Structures are given as C-alpha cells and as structure tokens.
Amino acid sequence: MFKVGTNVKIQPIMINLRECPAHCSSVEEEIDGKPWYHDIVHYLKFQQYPDQSSENDKKTIRRLAMNFFLDGNILYKRSRDQTLLRCVDSTEAQRIVEEVHEGVCGAHASGHKLARQVMRAGYYWLTLEKDCIDFARKCHKCQIYADRIHTPANSLHVLASPWPFSM
C-alpha cells in the first residue's frame, strides 16, 4: 500500500512477465479429439452447455453461437457481409491452405492475402490468419523467389539534368 494523501491508499500494480506471447485466438489441438467448434454445434442443436461449464463459459458460448448457423451437421459462420463460411477442423484446414496456396485461387500468395483467399473460397476456422502466415513463411518456393527488399544499400549516383534550368 502506498499513502498518497492523509486517508488515501493505493494498491500496487502487479505485473507478471510471461515466457511466450499470449494470443487471444491461438487454439491448440483439442485433447479429446473433437473439433474446435464442437461445443457451439452441441449448443445450437440441443441448447445444452458442456458439463462442468461455469457461468462465464455459458455466456461465451451463447455470444459465439450468435454468429454461427447450423445446417444439418454442417456449421457455418456468418461473415461481416453476411455470407456463410463453412467451419472446418484442423486437418481439413491444412489441406485447404495447401491447395489455395499452390495455385487454385492464385499462385503463392503472402500470408494475409492467402487468408483472404481462403475466406473468399468459403472456409473458416479460428486460427485462419495465423495458419496462413505460418504456411507462407515455410513455403520453400516463396522464400526463394520472394522480392529482395532487404538487400544491402547501394550508393546513389547523382545525375545532373540541365533541361529544367536551361532557360
């Protein structure tokens, strides 16, 4: 406790440093083998929450489920322009990224553009942009034939142009 005035006390701020960066949309593989959207599908089908879910978890599932649409057993996400994007699991997502990057929707796009092309093709998963950026960084052809913007600087050669000052 810090004393600022006569009767004012301020709590100190606790700052913790982490070993690795934390990302809000970073999702690893599920331990139980179910896809990332399993809880949302279960909520949309049966209006039931997973076992041992807290009130905060229930609130989050309800909020997430508003942006999704269930047609049979296929889950779709409503995008910003109200088009439906099919939700896929990690194995299918990897195959989609490979196909789109190899030239189905253009040839060897960068990570952000690859993510837009996948969404334009009608697919969605939580770590779409992160996966596309990682795939583009690991592509051998993209690394070989990429623009060399980080080449060493060359000295400038000054050219004197007499025409503008000839009058």
Tell me what pLDDT residue 88 has: 94
The CA distance from 82 to 119, in Å, is 13
Give the residue extent of every domain in the chain. Answer: 32-71, 88-146
10-residue mean pLDDT series, the chain (167 residues): 68 75 54 84 91 90 92 91 92 91 78 90 93 89 73 73 68
The CA distance from 90 to 134, in Å, is 14
Tell me what pLDDT residue 14 has: 78
Tell me what pLDDT residue 4 has: 67
Amino acid at 6: T
The helix/strand/coil state of 118 is: helix
Model-level pTM? 0.67
Largest alpha-carbon pair distance within the chain? 86
Half-sphere exposure of 16 (CA within 13 A, CB side): 5
> For the chain, how many helices (H) and strands (E)?
6, 6
Tell me what pLDDT residue 76 has: 95
Tell me what pLDDT residue 32 has: 74
Tell me what pLDDT residue 44 has: 93
